[in-house]
Amino acid sequence: MNEMKKNLKLIKNNKTKCPTCGNFSVKSSYPFCSQRCSSIDLGKWFDGKYSIPSVEDPDGLDIVKLSEKDKS
């Protein structure tokens, strides 16, 4: 029960836990505890972005094929 009270206090104080390591976040690098954790999380996002173009590529090829059909 004490844990719940603690959590409520943390929400009131607007203290968020770092998504990367779980430490309390700092204003300067919100919502992370440090710039290091911020860049680690950014790295995760970039990894995800790299996988998106390979999924979208087939559509791009289809558009090219259609425009080639119009020409001929």
Question: Which parts of this chain interact with Zn ion (CB under 5 A)?
Answer: 18, 20-21, 23, 33, 37
Query: From the CB of 28, what's the least distance to Zn ion, in Å?
Result: 13
C-alpha 33/C-alpha 21 separation (Å) is 8
Query: From the CB of 59, what's the least distance to Zn ion, in Å?
Result: 38
C-alpha 11/C-alpha 33 separation (Å) is 16
- Of the pair 5, 27, the CB lying nearest Zn ion is at 27
Query: From the CB of 33, what's the least distance to Zn ion, in Å?
Result: 4
Task: For Cα atoms 69, 70, 72, give the angle at the middle one, nearest 5 degrees.
Answer: 65
